[in-house]
Structure 1
């Protein structure tokens, strides 16, 4: 579940899909895989933890690439 707070001071990194990226990061850091099994977030991601957020993040990034491709196509006409 996304965790956005109105009163939280935003620490935006200026990158696309930053909100989903932060949610994925938090999900991994709070997962039992990291906390109890002491594995790295990268290992846990490979094992399928937080899969829904990972897919959402990839879809967001893919949509950004599609948008850029569209504008490049229009500009070349």
Structure 2
């Protein structure tokens, strides 16, 4: 899934979890809690965001954990 900046330029893939991170930031930025002045981390911790954002946060955690898992060296790494 291509992700674009406001100027319309394609973002470069910097890490395996980059796509998930960008989508999570966009989801949190569009949530009502952040629009009312809350910070992203606090709104996510209090679960005052849509379920899609919570699912993306879980996916980002699993992606980052897979990067540190030595068993993943022998298997194909998960991309997004």
- The answer for the alignment partner of 1:56 in structure 2 is 59
Quote how far apart the aligned CAs of 1:10 are: 2.1
Greater helix content: 1
For residues 65 and 16 of structure 1, do their structure 2 counterparts lie closer, same or farther at Cα, with a shift above 3 Å needed?
same
Q: Number of residues paired by the alignment?
A: 66
Counting only pairs closer than 5 Å after superposition, residues 1-77 of structure 1 correspond to structure 2 as 4=2, 9-12=9-12, 14-36=14-36, 38-48=37-47, 49=49, 50-66=53-69, 69-70=70-71, 71=73
- Please state how far the C-alpha of 1:58 moved relative to its aligned partner: 0.6
Cα distance in 2 between the residues matched to 1:56 and 1:9: 25
Structure of larger gyration radius: 1
| Deviation beyond 4 Å, 4+ runs, structure 1 | none
Q: CA RMSD in A?
A: 2.4
**Structure 1 gap segments, 5+ residues each:** 72-77
TM-score (norm 1): 0.69
Length-normalised TM-score, structure 2: 0.67
